[in-house]
Structure 1
Amino acid sequence: MNEAQSHFGVLYVVATAIGDDEDLSARAKATLQAVSLIAAEDTRDAGRLLRELGISTPTMAVHEHNEADRVPVLIERLQAGESLALISDAGTPLISDPGYRLVAAAHEAGIRVSPVPGACAAIAALSAAGLASDRFHFEGFLSAKAGPREARLNALAQTPHSLIFYEAPHRIIDTLTAMGQVFGAARLATLARELTKTFETMKRAPLAELLAWVEADSNQQRGEMVIVVAGAPALAVADEHRISAEALLTILVRELPVKQAASIAAEALGLRKNALYGLAQQLREAAP
């Protein structure tokens, strides 16, 4: 660190509560009070939070539509010695929220970036889902369009560890339907809704049962949602076929799109195309 950098401010990445305000840490509150400026995804939400905390620190809107334009201004202030805080609407910033450009730019400028950890809906849901948590894949929001959504689910179908998704309430039925079709109706999943809030619900069941439960109760179609899906069984492609499937797909994905490679291999080996799509995707990604 050179002499100029030693006088730079600090960019604090501050996690706020996702529902219950008491989950906001004392350190987070002290940080928001101490910094010169708070970069907030939505200044209206930030304003409500700060008023409840009795904090008068000024805010600046930094969201997906203006982040690129705001980054130079914020970096200049940090380089001038001001410390800033970055917050999202709720939970931990950058987890399906804006802020990546600012944090990356701060690192590139030699500015210290310090996390002030706290609530995160994805991790909260995983911790209470009753599914394997030693390894997991965070996917965030799927596409709102049926075609891209199904394609992405197919690519994830053979992932062996738990999958974490965020979803909007008006799409929950379509998403659970697509998951059942791609992953199989019997795949175990947990729907975590309105975490830490008054009407928090957690439901762990096979995807078909989970879908029926949500369809039958309109209350389960409201609020903030996290879906945790169990990983694919280790032997989704049977032992006697796996070696030949990998060998064939390794060759096919060199020359063909993943979907076409999986289709040809499935026809040749008498296996389900969905079972081979994820394997083909993994082999494509691993190819030199």
Structure 2
Amino acid sequence: MTNPKIGVVGIPGKWSTEVLADAIEARTGFRAVIDLHETCLDLTSGRLEHRGQDLGELDALIVKKISAEYSPTSLDRLELLRVAEARGVRVFSRAETMLRLINRLSCTVTLRNAGIPMPETLVTEDLDSACQAVQRFGEAVFKPLFSTKARGMCVISADQSPEALRREVAAFRADNPMMYLQRRVELPGRDLGMVFAGGRYLGTYARVPQSGDTWNTTIHSGGRYEAYTPSAELIELATRAQAPFDLDFTTVDVAETSDGPVVFEVSAFGGFRGALEGAGIDAAGAYLDHVLSEL
């Protein structure tokens, strides 16, 4: 396909969105950044419109970001893209594959069904069961089902009175009726982002916290990126972890523990900045190479 019209679904002005749009414009001469917040779907005509542009007339859409923070609304926005797909627009990654990853529980169930090692995890709406799990784990990380960059996560320790523990868990449940909690694992001062395009391994970067509290290494919380060379075993694990999702681009979050490596999650979108600053990988360029080869 000569000079395809490829739009970027993302957040205008954000670094990763603009870097990808720049790469597409340099290769094809076409530039369109689409904020799904500003789209309108007419189901009668099948027209999905963004600022007067019919997205069904594009050749492809690359989804970099659908919202600043994940929420059930994110699922609704992805459903809109299914209409564009039905009209023949290639969406990278396919809307159906991304839908399985926005909700943390859906991602976890897929990983566990594939036999991927993960931290001990409990999912429940029951307050007593959650409190008992914290006592069994000693410390647990409570995670919202819809979140990015560890937003809304907290650590709850069993080292307190049963009454105080129950109050903390109940406070989390007030905003998260379906509670998702994992045994807190000790990290070796880092966790890893392992980058894939079209199922092909590109490289790995490490996230290193700036404080002594190593459970949260995200850059949002003050961490930094570093280069890292993983073992063949880690690459094989990450490759197996991303395979069931059939994503066109992703980052697999992996941690090395004293009991062996574990996978925290597979990202629906994957980060460009960590790949560039930590591993020297031009993720936007590699992703675009994959998309153009598919088109």
TM-score, with structure 2 as normaliser: 0.33
The structure richer in strand per residue is: 2
Decide which structure has the larger Cα Rg and report it.
Answer: 1
The structure richer in helix per residue is: 1
